[in-house]
Structure 1
Amino acid sequence: MTTTAGQMRPLAIAPATNGTSQSQDTAAPTPCMPYTCTTCARRKVKCDKQGPPCSTCQKGRLECHYEAPPPRKRKRKAADDLHEKLEHYEDVLKQHGLLQASNSSSPADDDTHREVVQTSLPRLPQSVPTGGKHLSRNGTFLSGKGKSRYIDSLIWNSLPEEDMNASDEEDAADGDVHPSLIYRNRLSLDPLSATVLGVGQPGQSLLELHPTYDQAMKMWRCYLTHVEPLIKIFHAPTALAVVQRAASNPSSASKAVECLLFAVYHFAVTAMSDEECEKWLEQSRQQLQARYYAAVTQALVNAAFLRTSDISVLQSYVLFLLSVRPRYDPQTFWVLTGVATRIAFRIGLHRDPETLGVGPFDVQMRRRLFWQILPLDGMSGQISGTGMSIGRDQWDTKQPININDEDIWPDMTEPPVPRKGATEMMFCLMRAEVGMTHQKAAPLVGAYAAMWDAGTSEANDAIDNLVNELEVTLEEKYLRYCDPFDSFHLLAMSMGRGGLSLMRLRLKLPRVKLHPNISDDERKEIWRLANRITDFVQSVLTNALLKKYSWHLQAMLQYDAMIWMLNEIRRGSFVVTDPQEVWLKLERIYECYPAFMGQRRAIHIAFSKLTLKAWEQQPAEWRRLFDKEPVFFEKLRLSIKNRRDKKAELKAQAPNANHPWEAQENPLPSPKPDDPATTTSNSSGFGIDLADDFNPDTIDWGFWDQLLRDTDSFPMPQ
């Protein structure tokens, strides 16, 4: 059989002929290419390496193109290994102080903007014990494509530079592909993400859960007014552009952006009142919360949040945690908060970004986020009874500076200049100032027993000096510049000045616990502080200007002062000069705080029982000051009875596993008899009945919640 010229497909230009024709009866064998064509390689089908085109592409009428694969990585020379081992051994010797560190450094730059950063943790003041010796460690910071990693591991740091990025290769297969492709037959590479949040099938499309553009903008504006001033983890102008672009075309949003959207939507409806949801979104608040809770958890799972190195995904997760903290039980919430802490360390937020070589804008944003995770970790550790998981010697990130969002932008090259006075950041910075001061005072509080037994007031005087210094700092930096007619400024003033009184009270209570027989003057001083704190609580809960912050105010309600006052009334103390006024204050607080009547959390139940006991056991002449018993007492009794009946009914039924979202609806577990936390039931004299369905781990004896809670939320860096 002969092959015509029209059937021949030359692989190369034919060589020149000398004018004579040559005929062939049979075709010469077609040479075989040394590698597969790009089309077959992409389609993962067999290629006969003929052509082009190969037989597979010819049958499918596809474009066929051969391209040589990239050369293999060259084998490392023995000299390279020797130099690397030498550098590694030198680093180990430097870490242990056996070799003097060199003053020169030459970080290597590559495609991912790799920077080798020598970091050492600042030491604690001498007054704060570290619990361990000071360590100086070397870390490697990797950043690129909107993600970052901080590697502080001898195993990873011993690898060569070209292999360092392998720690992120597991993310490559699950990158930011267009959502329409992700949601088709996609199986999650980390099924635990869905398990942690109790979400169903990984990779589900969320397009149907997106609101209209108008609704999205309404929720964004609500977030800006109700939530963002108290959190400040976003740069509002930049975030606005992202929200507008994604809300107008949800199908184009990346997984990280979709997390941000639904985290904002969920927090917005959580912060809204029932009336605001009906008015602005024309749906009930309960329906909207359920809708966007499901959406934000699914979005986090779609983004594989457990193994993310994207800071925007972590921002969304922190927003989610802040919005659901009253809904989860303390133990579950502590575990979920630990996830945020681990991701923060993975991204390198625990290292001050100025030492990592990032831009001035990113420096402030990374600091803002880390200083939001610190109190979150401290608060969750307090309410769960486990303590804070971030050690004082594990981070050196500085506080963000006192500026407004207009003072920074993504492309800036010079560090921003701090402002003097009231700014958008002052609420978060005041909280940080208080937390740091409390950490300085913590060892002094622990020295109370020995000092008071020795008859010295050194600790008390030192604590008073610390609080006085803090008061001067807050007044001179922030409070004197506040406008009481501005709702945000009014909240900062109330929390700042009320918080100072609470701090003084909280630092005095340990001595009272150790020495119940305090002097009359000191008992009067504690009563004065408790009475003043109760006035602040009542004023912020009843002020119409602060209504939009009620989600925060009701979450941070402090019980210390009110518990002290109830116990003083219960025992008929001489410091109670006007019991009728005290009961009227408590009645107004109960009216403004419906959770007491809901009886859904252990602290609410315990406080309600203490309130009833104080009313019934107070001196008879104090009760006769009222013509009739205040109405809220009957409501309290009915609420406690209904809950007890419901608990008995549920106990008789077979228990079913419930989602953490329903935790507050479920009966609270009774403490175990051998639980060490319950053995000190009434030894403190606070009068809380621990014998009946009350778990003391759920009491928040922390210092500030967001602003007024979290005793261990701001550990001093070593």
Structure 2
Amino acid sequence: MDQPSQSQTSLLSPNRSSSYNRSCIQCNRRKVRCDRNDPCGRCVKCGEPCVFPGPKRAPRKLRRPPISEVVARLRQLEEVERLRSGSPASDHGLPSSVSSCSDVFRTDNHEGKLIVKEGKSRYVGDEASAVLGDKVRELQDICSDSSSEGDFDELDASVLRFVGFLGIDRTPDVLQRSHLYPSRIQELWHVYQINVAPLIAILHKPSVDEMLCQESENINPDPAREALLLSVCHAAIVSMSPKQCIEVLGEDSETQIQKYRLATDQALARANFIKSQDIHVLQAAVLFLLCLRRKGNTRLVWAASAVVVRVAQGQGLHRDGQHLGLSYFDTEIRRRLWWHICILDMLCSGDQGTDSQIQPGMFDTRLPSNVDCDVLYPSLTEMPLEKVGCTDITLCIVQCEIIASLYWPNKFTGANLSRNNQENLVKSLAYRLENQYLKHLDLEIPVQWMYATIARLTLSKSWLLAHCKTSTMGEDGPAMSQETDDKAFNMAIEVVKFAHLLHTNESTSQWAWLSKSYKQWHAIAFILSELCTRLITPETNHAWEVVTEVYRQWEDDDTQTSLMLRKPISRLMEHAALSRAAKMPFNQLAGSSPSIGAPLGEPASNSEILSPGMYGLPLSGMEWLCEPLL
């Protein structure tokens, strides 16, 4: 026979004495004090049945006002503001930037766009809107993509706990201590120095060597060092090819990446990243996020990077160590870390099509000195002279010079500058970087060739963005000549080719892992938008072949960068294919189709399409760097 429930027992035996932690239902409804006896005194006095709630906690009631009340208040405030300014009322009393109409594009003074569709809104910054906004209105698809971006898998839901989004991590360690044996860490540290350190110069390698020696006999390192070592291991595994991962670790790369990804996240949570004042923990987090862009969810990386900026400000990295009286060594290490945070912020913002969080005026940290980390040590009493030529920090310096000169001061793509002024801005920076750094690079050395190629791609991108913005100006803007349009079209094709070369060049294959996370979507979008309007010529046929080949590789690659723009680019591919099919004579269309997978026109092999020999530019000297900018 079933046992009576707790409430039934109280009714059957009203004289039974017991105590509860919560008030009975009647007292709770009346909002009076309950003595919590069974039955309670007030219910006995009123002659009513005394029933106590179950053991579960009562649901909390939200004290916030309903949405309708908030909207009503917003309308009242905007009406007051409208009366003060004397401006006409907007539709429905709401600002035009948040209108609920479907498929609405709103452009502010900075050329950014807010896309509103079916109650969803998505802001797109200057760079994305300059390339896509006025060519083909595919930015409308971004709102429909926002839901899919939020559908994280189980692995995403358990990662990034260290930033405090999902609470304290109570999951068991995903790695056994055997994975942290000195021999395993030494192997991965060796891989890190070859594959990662030349591109991400955050760590002081001699200090990490010393740390590994100190931890060789310590099974349980302190949380800060454990987080840093696991971040190094994660970065090394991300940089390895599947074949190399099996040779070094005896397991496939995807399994190892997931293990060390979660282990690093857990280690950062144990190190209490949010409250940590240890620079090693911050170094681990920045390195982790930079590498997570390659194999992780970039939406989460973008959100976590904002927390990293705040933690860095809490540790004072936004203030130059020289002004704070720090040693030469600490000053340089902090500079390197801060400017890599700036790079992370720029990359994450580009992935999501938003403006960067870091802006000029919020920091005074100087650029790092162009010296190798091997000449830096804690007891340094005098700063070494900067090297003329390549060091392990040269790539970071060049990237940050471009960010500081073209993105921060005047919002390059959003500033009201003429096309000539924008071109001159890029040219002057290109000449300065060439004279100060790039002309001293030896292009016969693979890593230095890669530095020069990355600099060229970044400068060409800035020039192309200037062209996109000025070419989409209204009637008041200057008209673009056909020669200028052709120049930008050819440059975009060249950018795509060089980007592909970074991914496939055998001499730089150990660094391709990072370059694959740099999708040149802006150049692809510009080429596709031009193919929608240009006639069928050998040049446009070649451009279509280049774009379709790179697009196939994007589809095959599992990198999640620029997810927001995947659907708009796909729509542009369809538009360009249909446009080319409509322009193609019928006899040329026989046996072919306008699908993305099959380029229209005479087919060519991949090696012919993207061969370095077809660039028409000398790779033995630095002239090719600025040639398109002259």
1:504 partner letter:
W
> Is the aligned partner of 1:491 residue 2:450?
yes
Within 5 A, what are the aligned runs for 1:537-552?
Answer: 537-552=499-514
> Is the aligned partner of 1:513 residue 2:513?
no
**CA distance in structure 2 between the aligned counterparts of 1:596 and 1:316, rounded to whole angstroms:** 26
Which of the residues 239, 242, 255 maps onto 1:287?
255
Task: Give, in angstroms, the shift of residue 355 of structure 1.
Answer: 0.9
**CA distance in structure 2 between the aligned counterparts of 1:630 and 1:598, rounded to whole angstroms:** 29
**CA distance in structure 2 between the aligned counterparts of 1:334 and 1:346, rounded to whole angstroms:** 19
Which of the residues 391, 402, 405 maps onto 1:434?
402
Task: Give, in angstroms, the shift of residue 299 of structure 1.
Answer: 0.8
Within 5 A, what are the aligned runs for 1:48-447?
Answer: 193=162, 196=165, 200-201=169-170, 208=177, 210-246=179-215, 248-326=216-294, 329=297, 331-384=299-352, 387-439=355-407, 442-443=410-411, 445-447=413-415
Corresponding residue of 2:461: 502
1:254 partner letter:
D
Q: What do residues 208-256 of structure 1 show as CA deviations (whole Å, max 9, x unaligned)?
A: 253443332221121112111111111112212213432x334252111
Local SS of the residue matching 1:305? coil
1:353 and 1:397 in contact (8 A); partners too: yes
Local SS of the residue matching 1:287? helix
Corresponding residue of 1:534: 496
Corresponding residue of 1:478: 437
1:233 and 1:369 in contact (8 A); partners too: yes
**CA distance in structure 2 between the aligned counterparts of 1:573 and 1:610, rounded to whole angstroms:** 17
1:519 partner letter:
S
Q: TM-score, normalised by structure 2?
A: 0.63
Q: TM-score, normalised by structure 1?
A: 0.56
1:352 and 1:398 in contact (8 A); partners too: yes
2:182 and 2:212 in contact (8 A); partners too: no
2:503 partner letter:
L
Distance 1:631 1:614, change over 3 A: closer
Task: Give, in angstroms, the shift of residue 429 of structure 1.
Answer: 0.7
Q: What do residues 22-43 of structure 1 show as CA deviations (whole Å, max 9, x unaligned)?
A: xxxxxxxxxxxxxxxxxxxxxx
Corresponding residue of 1:581: 542
2:174 and 2:263 in contact (8 A); partners too: no
2:163 and 2:273 in contact (8 A); partners too: no
**CA distance in structure 1 between the aligned counterparts of 2:498 and 2:311, rounded to whole angstroms:** 37
1:305 and 1:314 in contact (8 A); partners too: yes
Local SS of the residue matching 1:210? helix
1:621 partner letter:
M
**CA distance in structure 2 between the aligned counterparts of 1:579 and 1:364, rounded to whole angstroms:** 49
Instruction: Structure 2: state its 5+ residue gaps.
Output: 1-109, 111-159, 600-630
Corresponding residue of 1:616: 578
Comparing 279-288 with 522-531, greater Cα deviation is found at 522-531
Comparing 389-398 with 355-364, greater Cα deviation is found at 389-398
Corresponding residue of 2:426: 467
1:460 partner letter:
R
Q: What do residues 485-507 of structure 1 show as CA deviations (whole Å, max 9, x unaligned)?
A: 32211111111223222211112
Which of the residues 560, 564, 569 maps onto 1:607?
569
Q: What do residues 396-435 of structure 1 show as CA deviations (whole Å, max 9, x unaligned)?
A: 0000011112221121111221111122111101101111
Task: Give, in angstroms, the shift of residue 328 of structure 1.
Answer: 5.2
2:390 and 2:440 in contact (8 A); partners too: yes
Task: Give, in angstroms, the shift of residue 552 of structure 1.
Answer: 1.4
1:361 and 1:411 in contact (8 A); partners too: yes
Which of the residues 606, 621, 633 maps onto 2:596?
633
Rg comparison, structure with higher value: 1
1:431 partner letter:
Q
**CA distance in structure 1 between the aligned counterparts of 2:266 and 2:205, rounded to whole angstroms:** 25
**CA distance in structure 2 between the aligned counterparts of 1:198 and 1:269, rounded to whole angstroms:** 27
Q: What do residues 196-218 of structure 1 show as CA deviations (whole Å, max 9, x unaligned)?
A: 36764289696525344333222
1:262 and 1:295 in contact (8 A); partners too: yes
Task: Give, in angstroms, the shift of residue 356 of structure 1.
Answer: 1.0
**CA distance in structure 1 between the aligned counterparts of 2:161 and 2:546, rounded to whole angstroms:** 48
Task: Give, in angstroms, the shift of residue 629 of structure 1.
Answer: 4.7
2:421 partner letter:
A
1:255 and 1:299 in contact (8 A); partners too: yes
2:298 and 2:560 in contact (8 A); partners too: no
Task: Give, in angstroms, the shift of residue 459 of structure 1.
Answer: 2.9
Local SS of the residue matching 1:222? helix
Task: Give, in angstroms, the shift of residue 439 of structure 1.
Answer: 3.3
2:169 and 2:269 in contact (8 A); partners too: no
**CA distance in structure 1 between the aligned counterparts of 2:446 and 2:249, rounded to whole angstroms:** 24
**CA distance in structure 2 between the aligned counterparts of 1:612 and 1:204, rounded to whole angstroms:** 46
1:569 partner letter:
L
Corresponding residue of 1:103: none
1:541 and 1:592 in contact (8 A); partners too: no
- Percent identity over the alignment? 25
Task: Give, in angstroms, the shift of residue 308 of structure 1.
Answer: 0.3
Distance 1:595 1:605, change over 3 A: farther
1:256 and 1:313 in contact (8 A); partners too: yes
Which of the residues 550, 555, 560 maps onto 2:522?
560
**CA distance in structure 2 between the aligned counterparts of 1:269 and 1:532, rounded to whole angstroms:** 31
Distance 1:213 1:630, change over 3 A: farther
Q: How large is the RMSD of aligned CA atoms in angstroms?
A: 3.2
How many aligned residue pairs are there?
Answer: 436
**CA distance in structure 2 between the aligned counterparts of 1:390 and 1:561, rounded to whole angstroms:** 25
Task: Give, in angstroms, the shift of residue 537 of structure 1.
Answer: 1.7
2:293 and 2:560 in contact (8 A); partners too: no
1:333 partner letter:
V
2:302 and 2:352 in contact (8 A); partners too: yes
